[in-house]
């Protein structure tokens, strides 16, 4: 699958995750999604807070801020229902590597 095909698949999967979250009583706002190389460096380059090989740089990851009943939920455990659903769609959930609000699609062995 090409990078462009993965990006389009990822966008559709994110739509499904958002609907699932709202149907489950959660609300979301976006955190980091695309990390522009002018600010964060190209893939393989460490610049700013972004990891050198972050898939955010390839439009294959998003971090969500999670809310329930107006309360901002910050723990990885809070994201577990969404993370499990995301994995059922074929995505990689950051809760498996200490980044609970991170939802991505693997590319080149990177999550």
> For 46-50, which contacts have Cβ atoms below 8 Å and span 24 or more sequence positions?
none
Residue 91, in any domain of the structure? yes
Could you tell me the residue range of the domain that residue 20 belongs to? Answer: 3-30+60-104
pLDDT one-digit tens code per residue, 24-39: 999 999 999 998 787 7
Assign 100 to helix, strand or coil: coil
Residue 26, in any domain of the structure? yes
Residue 37, in any domain of the structure? no
Residue 81, in any domain of the structure? yes
Q: Output the CA torsion sign for 110, 85, 99, 62.
A: positive
pLDDT one-digit tens code per residue, 82-100: 999 999 999 999 999 999 9
Q: Cα(first)–Cα(last) distance of the chain, in Å?
A: 16
Number of domain units in the chain: 1
Residue 19, in any domain of the structure? yes
Residue 55, in any domain of the structure? no
């Amino acid at each position: 699958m090409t990078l462009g095909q993965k990006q389009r698949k990822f966008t559709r999967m994110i739509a499904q995750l958002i609907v699932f979250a709202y149907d489950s009583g959660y609300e979301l706002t976006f955190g980091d999604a695309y990390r522009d190389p002018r600010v964060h460096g190209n893939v393989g380059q460490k610049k700013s807070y972004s990891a050198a090989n972050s898939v955010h740089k390839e439009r294959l990851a998003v971090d969500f801020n999670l809310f329930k009943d107006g309360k901002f939920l910050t723990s990885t455990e809070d994201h577990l229902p969404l993370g499990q659903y995301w994995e059922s769609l074929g995505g990689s959930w950051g809760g498996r590597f200490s980044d609970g609000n991170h939802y991505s699609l693997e590319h080149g062995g990177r999550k």
